[in-house]
Amino acid sequence: MGFTGQCRCGLVRLQLQVDTPAPLYACHCLNCQRWSGSAFALHMLCVAQAVEVSGGMSTYSYEHEGQTSTQYACGSCFTRLFNETTAAPGMRVVRAGVLEGAGQLAPMAHIWVKCKQPWFVLPEGVAQWPESPTPEAFMSALNG
């Protein structure tokens, strides 16, 4: 399944390929609420080589529990586009809201739901965890 996307100003464009069902999930943690300025963040977990990017980007890196996370944003309008972490080498987590048509897909999993905003009602039958799941449980939920 292929997607195209872009930042708010259009300087940076993305093209990516993922398996079906699309590995889309929602993170309700407080940092995702801050980063997104919204109730939760929508992420698509991608193999790094399957994400092509054009346009000038700015990066922001930070350390967390001995790992380095690097965030990639448009260098002009600062839309956050994806991140990489040394905890999961070879992967990119794309901010799904920048992708055309991703709004038609329902997330396969919800994580950090203990921090979710109380008005948001989780859909029944969808995988969910109070915090981060184990990588094995998470991958099994994303693979449908």
The residue ranges that bind Zn ion (CB under 5 A) are: 7, 9, 11, 27, 29, 32, 74, 76-77
Report the alpha-carbon angle 41-43-8, nearest 5: 75
Instruction: Find out whether the peptide bond into 123 is cis, omega within 30 degrees of 0.
Output: no
Considering the complex, what minimum distance in angstroms separates the CB of residue 140 from Zn ion?
20
Find the length of the chain: 144
Q: If we measure between CA atoms, which residue out of 50, 55, 47 comes closest to residue 2?
A: 50
Considering the complex, what minimum distance in angstroms separates the CB of residue 26 from Zn ion?
9
Considering the complex, what minimum distance in angstroms separates the CB of residue 25 from Zn ion?
10
Q: Which C-beta is closer to Zn ion: that of 22 or that of 116? A: 116
